[in-house]
Structure 1
Amino acid sequence: MEFYEVIRGRFSCKKFDGRPVEKPQLDAILEAGRLAPTAKNLQEQHIYVVQSEKGLVKIDKMTPCRYGAVTVLVVAFDKNNVFTYPGEKRDSGVEDATIVAAHMMLAAKAEGVDSCWINFFDPDMVAKEFGLPENEEVLMMLDLGYAAEGAEPLASHSQRKEISETVTCI
């Protein structure tokens, strides 16, 4: 699939048909995350692949946003392995994990797999439920699967502001 087809065609799928994501597609998606750029190449991301019934039940307890996906990626980052920017008000953890997640989301579409970015959950609860290391912070979860019949983007999906409203040359 051509790159601009990928970014135009991807939408937040909110109804999956329950088919599993095949290993070659999942591997390609995870590889896209591995190849994503990170500040100072620290690669502080850690991706947890949740496919077991037990794991999916845990996710369902923490968010209503699994939408029937049978693969969920939990994206976390090592808080102790981040680059702190000048001014010491920000570090690279959230942005690097976001770049990794975005790469995986777009790779999913390129592989014919639908996705939905989930941020409606308590990150500390996810970390506790899955026994994640204390040095890791959960950023988001990514539903992966195949859209069920009738699943479509939200009505407002294709509505975009004019570029002049979001870009200023200075």
Structure 2
Amino acid sequence: MSIFSLIKQRYSVRKYEDRPVEAAKLQQLLEAGRVAPSAHNNQPSRLLVVQEQAGLEKLRKGANVHGAPLAIIVAGDHDTAWVRPYDKKKSVDIDASIVTDHIILAATELGLGTLWVCYFDPVIIRQEFNIPDHLEPINIIGIGYAAGEAKSPDRHDEARKPLTEIVSWESY
């Protein structure tokens, strides 16, 4: 499958089948995250895999992954993230989001559905999973086999703004 087909095929899954993600597929997802680029190659992202029932119950206290049988909490290490010297912007959230996107696209290619969750209570997630202070939970990915009909890859023709509204050339 071409990357453009894959990108258009991916959608936010909010209903999952009740079956686990195979260990071999999980390993491929983790490898996809591991090889993601990061600013200055500092690799500040950390992955917390949640797949046991007790962990998923803890996760539900602070986030909704819509019944996904697997979740990955993508955290960023503020102590190792690159800092842009001009304005002191840390790359931690950008790097974690690149890892997240790599995992999501790999999951799509493996026939898995995903949900990128940013709407969660970081205080609860930090407490429930004993996340140290230097790590920030940035994204949560719900992963599993989608239940129901897949969304059409053509939905972007209607659901997304046209390029003329989002692209400027040479200057704003």
What 5-or-longer segments of structure 2 have no aligned partner? none
Tell me what 1:70 maps to: 69
Calculate the aligned-residue CA RMSD, in Å: 1.5
Q: Residues 32-71 of structure 1: matches in 2 within 5 Å?
A: 32-63=32-63, 65-71=64-70
The letter for the 2-side match of 1:83 is W
% identical equivalent positions? 37
Q: TM-score, normalised by structure 2?
A: 0.91
Structure 1 residue 89: Cα displacement: 4.0
Give the Cα separation in 2 of the matches to 1:129 and 1:30: 22
Structure 1 residue 124: Cα displacement: 2.3
Give the Cα separation in 2 of the matches to 1:166 and 1:144: 30
Tell me what 1:164 maps to: 164
Tell me what 2:20 maps to: 20
Give the Cα separation in 2 of the matches to 1:150 and 1:43: 37
Give the Cα separation in 1 of the matches to 2:50 and 2:2: 29
SS of the residue 1:99 aligns to: helix
SS of the residue 2:139 aligns to: strand
The letter for the 1-side match of 2:71 is V
Structure 1 residue 152: Cα displacement: 4.2
For the 8 Å contact 2:61–2:124, the answer to whether it is kept is: no
For the 8 Å contact 1:124–1:138, the answer to whether it is kept is: no
* Structure 1 residue ranges, 4+ long, deviating more than 4 angstroms after superposition: 150-153
What 5-or-longer segments of structure 1 have no aligned partner? none
Q: Deviations over 1:124-155 (max 9, x none)?
A: 221111001221000010000011124647xx
